[in-house]
């Protein structure tokens, strides 16, 4: 089978990896550089920011992915020599309004989240800002170095003889014959396939409009900033008042993020920079003296309730979706891409696919 993946972010690349491993001919194309959009721009926390606020559909994908990430990181390092740096730090939530709901969720789902005395938090995180009074902690939560993850996936695919990658190759429309989608049209010509999978993130809705399909996926802008500190400056991830601090292994600290409905505009703004700096200093006062190394924006693929679309598109044989992961594309990628491959190849799915099916969810 020849499968075409439209979109070269982590969802498209990892889907391609699964399908190529199964022996199929796979082509991946992207309108820009592979992994250059939200997969590059995100923070890489391997957990929804507030997992108890999501539906069981998101939880099922998240749990499977969280358990699989260390294995995925090790596999990609062995295959390519590029380490995605799956960094297990644990995560603190400070002064939550819905602490009781979080603890009930953890009890119900069997996740290691528990209340921690604030004195203990300040002992473990002496760099934390003052004024916090309550904390929850979940051990085992990791973050992944997302630019390195997409680079590792790209390298792995380049080494597979049944994979072709196309960068800077924008789709202008789909090829339809006898009611079936047989590939795509691009500025460089036609690409034909037995199955075409749209994994184009925030651009997925725009692509499907060319077929008269209303896919409720829209861009939601997010801005972040990056500091460089000592490697042991912050041992755990911290989240308070909707903002988070993520430590990388080399001492880089990410602070994020904004939520903005600004269409496809990715311009970083001074307002967001000031707001993110204020959050950074409130969480970690020492950052007041640190220099912002980088400030950027990306576009999340916003979708209703953050539930992705995974599966075939009714009435358009040959067309499949793996998109609409909103704020959790990196979190949900391993399970989403495995589920897509299971469904596409007729295997037993890892989880119930019904909540993600495009059928009944498209206009």
Mean pLDDT of the chain, nearest integer: 97
Q: Please report whether residue 135 resides in a domain.
A: no
* Among 74, 3, 67, residue whose Cα is nearest residue 319: 3
Distances, alpha carbon 4 to alpha carbons 165, 305, 318, in Å: 10, 28, 10
For the chain, what is the total number of helices (H) and then of strands (E)?
9, 19
For β-strands 180-186 and 292-302, DSSP reports them as unpaired
Q: Does any domain span residue 327?
A: yes
Containing structural domain, residue 35:
1-48+55-85+143-217+304-363
Q: What is the mean pLDDT of residues 318-322?
A: 98
* pLDDT tier, 363 (very low <50, low <70, confident <90, very high otherwise): confident
Residue among 159, 163, 153 nearest 22 (CA): 163
CATH number at residue 61: 3.50.50.60
- Mean pLDDT value of segment 3-24: 98
Is 258 within the bounds of a domain?
Answer: no
Could you tell me if residue 190 is inside a domain? yes
Task: Confirm whether 286 is domain-assigned.
Answer: no
Residue 81 tokens, joined: 């020599």
Give the E-state strand segments of 73-179 in sequence order: 87-88, 91-94, 113-116, 135-138, 142-143, 163-166, 171-177
Mapping DSSP to helix (H, G, I), strand (E, B) and coil, where does residue 312 land?
strand
Q: What is the pLDDT of residues 119-138, one digit of tens each?
A: 999 999 999 999 999 999 99
In degrees, rounded to 5, the angle at the alpha carbon of residue 144 between the alpha carbons of residues 303 and 108 is: 65
- Residue 188 and residue 290: Cα distance in Å, rounded? 46
Model pLDDT for residues 207-232, shown as the tens digit of each residue: 999 999 999 999 999 999 999 999 99
Number of domains in the chain: 1
Q: 30 pLDDT exceeds 80?
A: yes
Q: Is 249 a domain residue?
A: no
pLDDT band at 2 (very low <50, low <70, confident <90, very high): very high
Q: Tell me: the pLDDT tens digits for 138-164?
A: 999 999 999 999 999 999 999 999 999
The verdict on whether omega for the bond into residue 257 sits within 30 degrees of 0, i.e. cis, is: yes
Structure tokens belonging to residue 195: 């199955």
pLDDT above 70 as % of the chain: 100
pLDDT of residue 334: 98
**Local structure of 79: helix, strand or coil:** helix
**Is residue 131 domain-resident?**
no
What is the reported pTM? Answer: 0.96
**Orientation of helix 10-21 relative to helix 329-344, angle to 10°:** 30
In a domain, 197, yes or no: yes
226-253, pLDDT tens digit by residue? Answer: 999 999 999 999 999 999 999 999 999 9
Is residue 13 within 8 Å of residue 154, measured between CB atoms?
A: yes
In percent, the amount of the chain with pLDDT more than 90 equals 99
Calculate the dihedral angle through the C-alpha atoms of 31, 35, 36, 41, rounding to the nearest 10 degrees.
Answer: 140
Query: For residue range 269-278, what is the model confidence (pLDDT) as tens digits?
Result: 999 999 999 9
- Mean pLDDT, rounded, for 55-71: 95
């Amino acid at each position: 089978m020849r499968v075409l993946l439209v979109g070269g972010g982590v969802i498209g690349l990892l889907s391609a990896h699964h399908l190529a491993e199964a022996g199929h001919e796979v082509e991946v194309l992207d309108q820009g550089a592979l992994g250059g959009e939200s997969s590059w721009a995100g923070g890489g926390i391997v957990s929804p920011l507030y997992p108890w606020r999501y539906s069981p559909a998101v939880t099922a994908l998240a749990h499977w992915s969280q358990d699989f990430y260390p294995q995925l990181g090790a596999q990609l390092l062995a295959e390519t020599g590029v380490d995605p740096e799956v960094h297990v730090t644990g995560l603190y939530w400070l002064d939550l309004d819905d602490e009781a709901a979080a603890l009930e969720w953890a009890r119900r789902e069997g996740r290691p989240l528990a209340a921690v005395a604030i004195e203990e938090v300040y002992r473990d995180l002496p760099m934390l800002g003052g004024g916090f009074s309550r904390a929850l902690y979940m051990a085992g939560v990791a973050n992944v170095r997302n630019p390195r993850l997409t680079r590792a996936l790209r390298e792995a695919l380049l080494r597979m003889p049944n994979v072709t990658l196309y960068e800077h190759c924008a789709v202008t429309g789909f090829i339809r014959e006898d009611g079936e989608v047989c590939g795509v049209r691009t500025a460089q010509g036609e690409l034909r396939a037995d199955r075409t999978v749209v994994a184009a993130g925030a651009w997925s809705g725009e692509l499907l409009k060319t077929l008269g399909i209303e896919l409720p996926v829209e861009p939601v802008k997010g801005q972040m900033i990056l500091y460089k500190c000592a490697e042991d400056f912050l041992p755990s991830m911290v989240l308070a008042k909707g903002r988070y601090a993520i430590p990388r292994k080399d001492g880089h600290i990410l602070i994020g993020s904004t939520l903005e409905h600004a269409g496809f505009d990715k311009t970083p703004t001074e307002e967001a920079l000031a707001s993110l700096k204020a959050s950074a200093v409130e969480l970690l006062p020492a950052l007041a003296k640190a220099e912002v190394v980088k400030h950027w924006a990306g576009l999340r693929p916003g979708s209703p309730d953050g539930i992705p679309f995974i599966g075939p598109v009714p009435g358009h044989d040959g067309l499949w979706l793996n998109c609409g992961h909103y704020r959790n594309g990196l979190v949900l990628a391993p399970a989403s891409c495995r589920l897509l491959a299971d469904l596409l190849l007729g295997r037993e799915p890892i989880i119930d696919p019904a909540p993600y099916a495009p059928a009944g969810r498209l206009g």
